[in-house]
Structure 1
């Protein structure tokens, strides 16, 4: 006899991994999904469609260098062509004068397309001015502007002239020049280092999108591509910035935003300072100039060591008086002096050389003149074994009179070596501002070391200061090849390595206190991916790229514990290419993690640790998700790869939770028409059109044009669409009812609780999806569009035919619209 079983679920746990779906003994099984696309798990229970994206701008392709030779370059006001092509040589002109004071002119010999002109280290000697730095190209008759004029300052900056926003065709010309307009405040000689010309090539570049908020209310979207940064404000292009990171290292660069600057780090790139020069259209990027970089012995033969010099001053030391010296815990024999200064120097030399650990070869010099008081002796720690090392300061004590002594270190000894970071030895992988210090780690030559700058001076690495604020360099003794990749300043200072995670037990970074490290048993972090946090837990992608970890401190363990945060949905973590967090916003009243994957999908995670909410759901689009970031206003920005008529491009897109379509754009029409043109971005693909409360589609776009069945007018929205899909779990009657499971099952009745929904389709019993009317005939207005009035109600559907082995139901849509499902109840006959 056929019996009915009723199953109801709210799906708070998101999509379960196939290996987990047989765990009938766990609490999350009936509150999860077996599969889904393009939904967001809601912390209150249920799920909604993910919304859509607005197309805002394009991104650059890979850059190609335009070769310059000395014969192409003319410098009429100072400098040589050879200097212009050498980035290590400074060029200084005569005093700038006139409206077009030419710094250099380049004749390429034939017309070439140029997108960027860079000038390095440019500054004015006396005073700068806005819009005083000008680039131009010759159109055969007059000089034309090459992009916007730039600010000239008295600080050396590397600047980039751009022909226009991404997608601009560039300027095709033979002759170009860079000038200074000295008719305003710009004055004095102009100094610069080099010039470079570049063009966008045909090959796509990898890309990253990152936010930057230098001041409250200022939100910038920075798009990083091959050797370039494009600056946007609300999706509107502002300018381009030169950037030394090519696409081969683009994803591994670690960035630290601070007020008007972004510091950028990578082992293969000198640390960079990306600087906003007071305006969203004025930016520069230059190498950070560090002072007092510590030296390290890399096993070479070095001649740059420093010999220790100390000075002993003896006050009221009479002829025949005695004293002794104490050096590094050892005390000399008695030294009896006479009025012969040089002889006394020899006595001091012999006494010190007799001490353990002191080799012959000291140089002791009497500095006293004319029997003056005090008697002064300079001790130079020369000789093999003495030179090029740091000695403790000596102590001096009188033995038989009332003399007293003062000892001072004139020059501190230091072994020879090479800077811990340089072009030859590589650079740090990451830097963070912590306790007013710049803390760096992951040096290419010393991957386990960390280095902290002088307090309050982020670019001064002076370890010789005799104070707690001095810089410090220490090895993080991980005991294995643990390359440091990131730093997180949380409960304490955490160093994320390739194999394990270290943390600093000291509360304060101090040069007078030896750092004490602890080590978590959590695995290391994958390269090139940021960390993020939620409810005091740190999320990161584990080395290998197949697990999302949650690192948190536990009082029970007295340590940081890294639990597997993706174990229930392990199949959705597929080599992430980026990681971002959006704070609780709107109806998604929980934090949401966003992870684009290597295959172009994106996995979202709704997380609220205090309520045990952890729901994964995958997103797909007509293209590939590449990079993602959440701005300070909780808007989400993405880079997506799109294909139009076989041509790939990368687009900057803004997520909109109330939009239905992806890569959408608004088009304003005049009279009603059923033919649309200018749709080149969608060529070879299907589009939908939203006209007020009405929807039209799908339509194929061919050669940038689409023919519609019905005419449209006014302001329309055009875009692509992928439907939301949610499949609930298999039904096992043996588990649900305690009796033997039926071989075939029928979903005979479905009750879907909806909230503000405009479109619903269901599929059961292995049949195709069908649309479900949300209103009765009595509640239908004939001239009303399908998205005019969202419905909040329990929609009951029954009388479905057919059977399946699994008993699943699918919630989806057949046309775009709002969809929010609070719960699903189904009756199973089996």
Structure 2
């Protein structure tokens, strides 16, 4: 039978989905693999076994959040039910908090943003929280507090959530007053919150029933007056009227044939009577014959504080262009609010000056809820109806009067956090099987951005992500990676080479369930659910390229004990050698017969699992029939600094002729030929390991025989 050698030099496209197995004419097939599990993709196109992990501590279930205090000082924050514990990069505890309002059920839904020494944490069901680092191992927790304004006001967002026609009537302009609405509105949760009557604040102190409450006037309410004319035919309810000489303005709330009831909107003193003064309306003018002060009128122009136990809170936060940004409010899910420039706690809309706060909506009818935001070259907004951005100009980038929201795509965002990586932003979609990449594109037909499904070739590896993180210098490797924990406890790994437009996905698995991950600096941490000694525990672990096992506990010599693994079977490694599986006795001792010196690592085994796609024989007169009847007769595996591994289950020896068997076997650069028997309609090469040793594969050449 004729033979041909087919080299496999790159695995850059990662593990591709079964849907692409027949795309043998495409480069995606040539550069992809059938399986890429527990390996680290390398920029050269090769791969090596992924790093293992140290077992730092046993903790509770929760999530891990990065916190950068400075370029060289950072923490991992462990959020759990009602609390938070900080850890330094070496895994040592660095302070904690208790009494936090978050519960375990909402941890994966939290959103956060950081500024200076503070981390702001948001969820629809709780007040936004401010965590502040007040010392190297000290932290404080407080509710996010809106800034105080003029006359005791609070510069917080207000909005009328009640029916647009519902009116509010205060009994007086100052002091303690009775508040009456035209329909049911008040509930007990309103006590302690504020409403605004014509933009003047009132704090609710008691609720009598659905239409009646008691409140304290914070800012003196506008003056209400009844103005008499010989005829009021030139005036209509809703008109804004102005006195021609004094400039006093007001809004008509009610009228008769000769009177209008007006609330003054621009001058506390109100309107005055004079034969030379006229009151002007859009339909004409008239000279008043009399003016009297009346009790506050029933007006529909009122609103309430947006953030409250009644209305809920914001679920997403970020900082962009010097403004603090809120979105995903429980009652206004498509609203987006920007603080005053440079004042992160001030949401005073003012008079719409360039630096004033902004209150807007996505407002296109497609997006009903904002799920996340990312501050990139522009602000990116991820919603249940697609991805949007806010166009910007040079200075200022956007203002209350020059503001718009534009759509990039119709990809419905999923619940996990979006993340920035290699000048792009990524977000899983609502199906849980796509990973959308939003990237700058000057040629885009929707402005500055374009998007694509970055997991198109590997959608089977995206399995409802629950958390994501990215590292631009993972363990000081030159490669760039992003990581995501799937709902099933596996971890997808995205490898990117931006200048070559390479994106490849692989999967990491462990003897347990990944629950959360967090990258800080060059380190990657994981919170893992494992069964150790018959009990389910949660371990805080740190990846290390010196390890080839997971959840490692280290002992200095064989006389040491591993109490955490008492009664458990573990793998043991030392130097470059694997001792295989060993039973730890109930006292934590290990039964290891060796003369080699420690230290020894005890941990849980995992194997790389890389399977090539079936080879494609084409060209040089090879017919379709010949190409369909092939077998792989041999594989040449090119490795660097590697130990024992298996090819289609066939092992190689760790030692070579002449090696000193009293020393651990060396890691080798090698080209190994493995003869393979048997036939298969879709023959492949599969590389695994049964020892916990290093493995780095830079290429595989398949020797293929086909019918002549």
Give the TM bin, normalised by the shorter chain: 0.7 to 0.9
Q: Out of 336, 355, 364, which is 1:469 matched to? A: 355
Matched, 1:760 2:606: no
1:239-638 mapped onto 2 (5 Å cutoff): 239-242=95-98, 243-277=100-134, 279-290=135-146, 291-298=154-161, 299=163, 300-303=166-169, 305-306=196-197, 350=229, 355-357=234-236, 381=251, 383-384=253-254, 415-465=301-351, 467-507=353-393, 508=396, 511-527=399-415, 529-559=416-446, 560-585=449-474, 588-632=477-521, 634-638=522-526
Pair 1:211-2:66 in alignment? yes
Q: Confirm or deny that 1:697 pairs with 2:580.
A: yes
Structure 2 residue aligned with 1:232: 87
SS of residue matched to 1:807:
coil
Change (3 A) 1:653 1:561: same
Aligned equivalents of 1:379 and 1:514: distance in 2?
Answer: 27
Give the Cα separation in 2 of the matches to 1:444 and 1:34. Answer: 44
Matches of 1:236 and 1:586, distance apart in 2: 19
**Alignment partners' CA distance in 1, 2:561 and 2:63:** 31
Q: Say which SS state the counterpart of residue 342 (structure 2) adopts.
A: coil
Q: Distance in 1 between matches of 2:383 and 2:27?
A: 35
Count of matched residue positions in the alignment of Structure 1 and Structure 2: 612
Q: Does residue 648 of structure 2 align to residue 791 of structure 1?
A: no
- The SS at the match of 2:499 is helix
Answering whether residue 577 of structure 2 is matched by residue 721 of structure 1, we say no
Match of 1:773 in 2: 653
The CA deviation at 1:643 is: 0.7
Specify the structure having the higher radius of gyration (Cα).
Answer: 1
**2:7 corresponding residue in structure 1:** 8
Q: How does 1:119-158 map onto structure 2 within 5 Å?
A: none
Tell me if structure 2 keeps the 8 A contact 1:228–1:240: yes
Residues 484 and 392 from structure 1, CA distance in 2 versus in 1: closer, same or farther, beyond 3 angstroms?
farther
Change (3 A) 1:649 1:46: same
CA distance 1:351–1:554, shift in 2 (3 Å) = farther
**Aligned counterpart, 2:296:** none
d(CA) in 1 for partners of 2:78, 2:346: 30
CA displacement 1:280-301 (0-9 Å, x = unmatched): 3221211111132232222254
Kept in 2: contact 1:734–1:740 (CA 8 A): no
| Distance in structure 2 (CA, Å) of the matches to 1:494 and 1:742 | 49
Contact 1:15-1:33 at 8 Å conserved across structures: yes
When the two structures are superposed, what TM-score results if normalisation uses the length of structure 2? 0.79
Distance in 2 (alpha carbons) for counterparts of 1:228 and 1:347: 58
Moved more, 384-393 or 801-810: 384-393
Change (3 A) 1:580 1:444: same
For residues 376 and 267 of structure 2, the distance between their equivalents in structure 1, rounded to whole angstroms, comes to: 37
Q: 1:466 to 1:540 in 2, by over 3 A?
A: closer
Question: What SS is found at the alignment partner of 2:69?
Answer: coil
Q: Which residue of 2 aligns with 1:36?
A: 36
Residue 813 (1) aligns with residue 689 (2)? yes
Are residue 730 (structure 1) and residue 614 (structure 2) matched? Answer: yes
Structure-2 separation of matches of 1:308 and 1:583: 48
User: Quick one: distance in 2 between partners of 1:621 and 1:663?
Assistant: 9
C-alpha change, 1:530 and 1:512, in structure 2 (3 Å) is: closer
**Aligned position for 2:636:** 751
1:126 maps to none
Q: Is the 8 A contact 1:807 1:828 kept in 2?
A: no
Measure, in 2, the Cα distance between the counterparts of 1:352 and 1:519.
Answer: 53
Q: Go from structure 1 to structure 2 and tell me whether the alpha carbon gap of 1:415 and 1:514 turns closer, same or farther (over 3 Å shift).
A: farther
**1:753-775, CA deviations, whole angstroms, 9 ceiling, x for partnerless residues?**
11222233211xxxxx1322366
Hey, what's the Cα distance between the residues in 1 that align with 2:689 and 2:509?
15
Kept in 1: contact 2:32–2:613 (CA 8 A): yes
Distance 1:389 1:12, change over 3 A: farther
Q: Give me the whole-angstrom Cα distance separating, in 2, the residues matched to 1:653 and 1:501.
A: 35
Partner of 1:71: none
- Inter-CA distance 742–496: structure 2 relative to 1 (3 Å threshold): closer
Q: Secondary structure at the match of 1:523?
A: coil
Work out whether residues 306 and 416 of structure 1, in 8 Å CA contact, stay in contact via their aligned partners in 2: yes
Q: Is the 8 A contact 1:757 1:790 kept in 2?
A: yes
Structure 1 residues 307, 538: CA separation in 2 closer, same or farther (over 3 Å shift)?
A: closer
Q: Is the CA contact 1:275–1:283 (under 8 Å) kept in the aligned structure 2?
A: yes
Matched residue SS, 1:782: coil
Measure how far apart 1:742 and its partner are.
Answer: 6.8
| Equivalent residue number for residue 650 of structure 1 | 538
User: SS of the residue aligned with 2:145?
Assistant: coil
Moved more, 818-827 or 806-815: 806-815
Q: Which moved more, 1:235-244 or 1:414-423?
A: 414-423
Say if 1:586 and 1:305 are closer, same or farther in 2 by CA, change over 3 A: closer
Per the TM alignment, residue 378 of structure 1 is displaced from its structure 2 partner at its CA by: 5.9
Contact 1:41–1:606 (Cα < 8 Å) also in 2: yes
